[in-house]
Amino acid sequence: MLDRPNVVLEVSNSADEFKIETHKYYRESIEVINEIASKIFKTFNISNKNFHFKLKRYFPSHVGLGSKTQLSLAIACAITKLKSLHRLSTEQLTQLVERGGTSGIGWRGFETGGFILDGGHEFGIGKEKETFLPSSAATVANPALTISRHPIPENWRFVLVIPNVKKGAYGDEEISVFQNYAPIPKNEVNEVSHQILMKVIPNLIKKNLKGFGEGLKRIQSLGFKKIEIDLQHNVVKDLLKF
């Protein structure tokens, strides 16, 4: 998880009436704020009448950056702190807002940032997960396990480019992608695991950007990441090649 893009949310519970305030570019976030705030209010029997939410910074949704998870946790964290419910952990808040049921990167990144290795869930009848679903639809499973977390070297820079094309799959379309393409062949899962454990993480720890990049590039041609890229607009594919 990188320093930017990020979410900056200001919340108070001393307003004259319930209010949500956002920049015109962030209008899509109003529905998320309403949904998540209502869930937290209902869970803890909190009155909403004096709450004021002001979203000061946000970033695009449905482009693979986890905007809904970050905003949802910011809302939950703000409300529970204002009502002095300090003992709730980030993992518990993640369960309350029903995120992290497939990927555990978003919730752990909210808490710590850095490079995060996710252990996923046990899969099968009677286990943590019984069907292949994205985090947005996997609301029953507990937040995915974090295996390790490492800081990213301060002098590394990442260029984030978001082309002005159709956004990635979400909602019913995203569910369909999971249902149609999972499970991933075991040999590709093994290769991804090898690249992460023997190439990406060791070079991150050694601060070897070249080796880190080589491992990352290899992962993009394997497993579910390859499928995600294959489903992207040609502009995105051309940009990756460039």
139 belongs to a structural domain: yes
C-alpha span between 77 and 226 (Å, rounded): 35
Q: Which of 25, 59, 90 is the last residue of a domain?
A: 90
Same domain, 228 and 125: yes
pTM: 0.85
Look at the chain and report how many structural domains it folds into: 2
Q: What is the pLDDT of residue 229?
A: 87
Same domain, 86 and 111: no
Same domain, 50 and 77: yes
2 belongs to a structural domain: no
Write out the residue range of the structural domain in which residue 67 sits.
8-90
174 belongs to a structural domain: yes
Helix axes 67-82, 29-43, angle to 10 degrees: 40
Which strand ranges, in their side-by-side order, compose the sheet holding 52-57? 8-12, 52-57, 19-22
Q: Is the pLDDT of residue 170 over 70?
A: no
Q: Please give the share of the chain, as a percent, with pLDDT higher than 90.
A: 49
Q: What is the pLDDT of residue 123?
A: 82
96 belongs to a structural domain: no
55 belongs to a structural domain: yes
Estimate the share of the chain in helix, then strand, then coil, as percent rounded to the nearest 5. Answer: 45, 10, 45
CATH, residue 63:
3.30.230.10
Q: Which two tokens stand for residue 166?
A: 């159709």
95 belongs to a structural domain: no
Q: What is the pLDDT of residue 205?
A: 97
Same domain, 49 and 106: no
Q: What is the pLDDT of residue 87?
A: 83
